[in-house]
Chain A
Amino acid sequence: MRYLIPLLLFLGLGVLLFSGLGKDTRYVPSPLIDKPAAAFVLPELRDNTRSIDAKQFTGTPYLLNVWGSWCVACQQEHPVLMAYAKTKKIPLVGLNWKDDNETALRWLAALGDPYDAIPVDADGRVAIDYGVYGAPETFLIDGNGVIRFKQVGPLTPEIIATEIEPRLATMGVK
């Protein structure tokens, strides 16, 4: 009995610390889930005479992937995006964040271009509206232009299968 309380306290502390072990301390929950995605009109990377308006995507769900050629984790993520683009399920929009156009184009030429549209956010303004704090980040935006899910860090086949596909199913995309 005498040792019961310290033992319980110790176990409590142990559980608390243990539950924190696997967690990513850099993960910040986004307040933007279930909020409308911010509007933007930005130039297209591959054709700077065109501009891309966020409104043009409403109607169908799409993925907004924030990337930059300077971002090492984006390179690691890239094959996953390439594979996903081949399924042609939903449009893939690549927000090119704080990048140099020439380098970004060369990066895509070397690694492949999975994107249906590439708005260029050179000064990072739009990224702030999306609460972006590190690339890559990926947003799943539904047909009404509402953010449904946000992935911080590289997309993986597992995340697509467990987080994105089930949500797409509820939006009527197979």
Chain B
Amino acid sequence: MRRIVFALAFLLTTTLAQAIDPLPFANEAEEQRFQALARELRCLVCQNQNIADSDAGLAKDLRNEVFEMMRAGKSDDEIRQFLVDRYGDFVLYDPPFKAVTLVLWVGPILILIVGFAIARNMMLRGGPHPDLPGPIDDKVDR
């Protein structure tokens, strides 16, 4: 039991920790802007983490780069574009809708539609199973 409590406590500490290495933010607004931006950028070394959460060396470099670009007065879009130019759309957790990412965006919807169509066909085609009682007929007097 105690072990479990300790394990859970550790989980809490990791979610509470924000940036791993503190950057010299001038104010809270700047920090929030940075955190929002870093959270939508993928760390390419540890691909299922964003650069805000990752402890990898490259993620740290990218955080510094993003921070310096913010300081240099670059807009969020300019910063995103800087990284996309170098690492491709893959660096964005919210990839843009275009020819290469078409399957990514449309695929799941397509599969859902096909699934519904199949389910509908199966339900309509069979009709009631012969062994089951038919639909209750309200008009029958008792």
CB atoms of A131 and B61 under 8 A apart: no
B3 interface hit (Cβ, 8 Å): no
B128 interface hit (Cβ, 8 Å): no
In the complex, what distance in Å separates the CA atom of A128 from the CA atom of B58?
Answer: 9
Residues of B within 8 A of A128 (CB): 61-62, 65, 86
Give the dominant DSSP class at B's interface: helix
A110 interface hit (Cβ, 8 Å): no
- B interface, size bucket: 10 to 19
Q: Write the nearest CB–CB distance from B125 to chain A, whole angstroms.
A: 9
Closest A residue to B84 using CB positions: A31
A148 interface hit (Cβ, 8 Å): no
CB atoms of B58 and A28 under 8 A apart: no
Among B47, B61, B62, B88, point to the contact of A30 (Cβ < 8 A): B88
Q: Write the nearest CB–CB distance from A70 to chain B, whole angstroms.
A: 9
**Per-position contact with B for A38-63: 1 when CB-CB < 8 Å, else 0?**
00000000000000000000000000
Minimum-distance CB pairs A-B, first 4: A133-B44, A131-B86, A124-B61, A31-B88
Interface residues of B (CB under 8 A from A): 44-45, 47, 57-58, 61-62, 65, 84-88, 90, 114, 118
